[in-house]
Amino acid sequence: MNRTALVVVERLLAVRAALGPRAFKDAARRALLGIAVAAHVEAERRARRRSRRQPVRSAVVVPFPLSRARPQDGGDSGRGP
């Protein structure tokens, strides 16, 4: 296993020992979210690099209408969700 992965596991276990299972679950969820964000950023970077080499000539932008108009003032429109 990678040393960095071991350090993450160690840190999570230290959080559990010091702060309890609720803090451990929260820290683990946030660690997983951080991993997902990093993977997403890397995938986007690779896609950008690939698109520069192989431009897509048949791409079409499809406009999707909003389900309802948004309030102009940016506040609550008074309508329910």
Whole-number pLDDT of residue 49? 85
Question: Residue 30 falls within a domain, yes or no?
Answer: yes
Question: Residue 35 falls within a domain, yes or no?
Answer: yes
Residue 68 · residue 78 · CB < 8 Å: no
Question: Residue 76 falls within a domain, yes or no?
Answer: no
The pTM score is 0.58
Whole-number pLDDT of residue 44? 92
Domains identified in the chain, total number: 1
Whole-number pLDDT of residue 61? 74
Question: Residue 8 falls within a domain, yes or no?
Answer: yes
pLDDT tens for each residue of 7-38? 999 999 999 999 999 999 999 999 999 999 99
Instruction: Give the range of the structural domain holding residue 25, as residue numbers without chain letter.
Output: 3-52
CA distance 52 to 24: 42
pLDDT tens for each residue of 37-68? 999 999 999 988 887 776 666 777 778 887 77
Whole-number pLDDT of residue 53? 73
